[in-house]
Amino acid sequence: MKPVAASWSFPPRGVPVRTPMHPGRLLARTCLAPLGLSQSEAARVLGLSRRRLHELVHGQRAMSPDTAIRCARYFHIDAGFWLAHQAAWDSFHAWKRLCSGSASPSVSH
């Protein structure tokens, strides 16, 4: 049986239609800014290097499970929340790469 061609005009179920906010930017806006925490202070209380937190906040680094757990413990926001935002970010950008032709879609048999 011949595989049915996928429609590339809209994302598949589970992939955001619009660009989601990077979890690091979300962290800065919803946790650091309201508490008046600088990146240096936040890095210290989370047990992260300043560079690691800076890269996360600026969208240059992914929210790892380790960082999500640290954020959950300090800010009392479920680690799954942070990881779900990272998954949304990753799937949206993977979709954009596929649509732009920079990655080939594969079909599982």
Domains of the chain by residue range = 23-90
Q: For the segment 70-79, what is each residue's pLDDT rounded down to a tens digit?
A: 999 999 999 9
pLDDT, residue 6, reads: 55
> Mean pLDDT across the stretch 49-65?
98
pLDDT over threshold 70, residue 109? no
CB 91 within 8 A of CB 62: no
Q: In whole angstroms, what is the distance from residue 92 CA to residue 56 CA? A: 18
pLDDT, residue 98, reads: 83
Fold of 23-90: 434 Repressor (Amino-terminal Domain) (1.10.260)
Q: In whole angstroms, what is the distance from residue 51 CA to residue 57 CA? A: 10
Q: For the segment 77-93, what is each residue's pLDDT rounded down to a tens digit?
A: 999 999 999 999 998 89
pLDDT over threshold 80, residue 107? no
Q: In whole angstroms, what is the distance from residue 86 CA to residue 29 CA? A: 15
Q: In whole angstroms, what is the distance from residue 22 CA to residue 62 CA? A: 8
Q: Which residue has the higher pLDDT, 15 or 27?
A: 27
Contacts of residue 69, defined as CB under 8 A and 6 or more positions apart, other chains included, come to 79
State how far Cα 16 lies from the chain centre. 12
pTM of the full predicted structure? Answer: 0.79
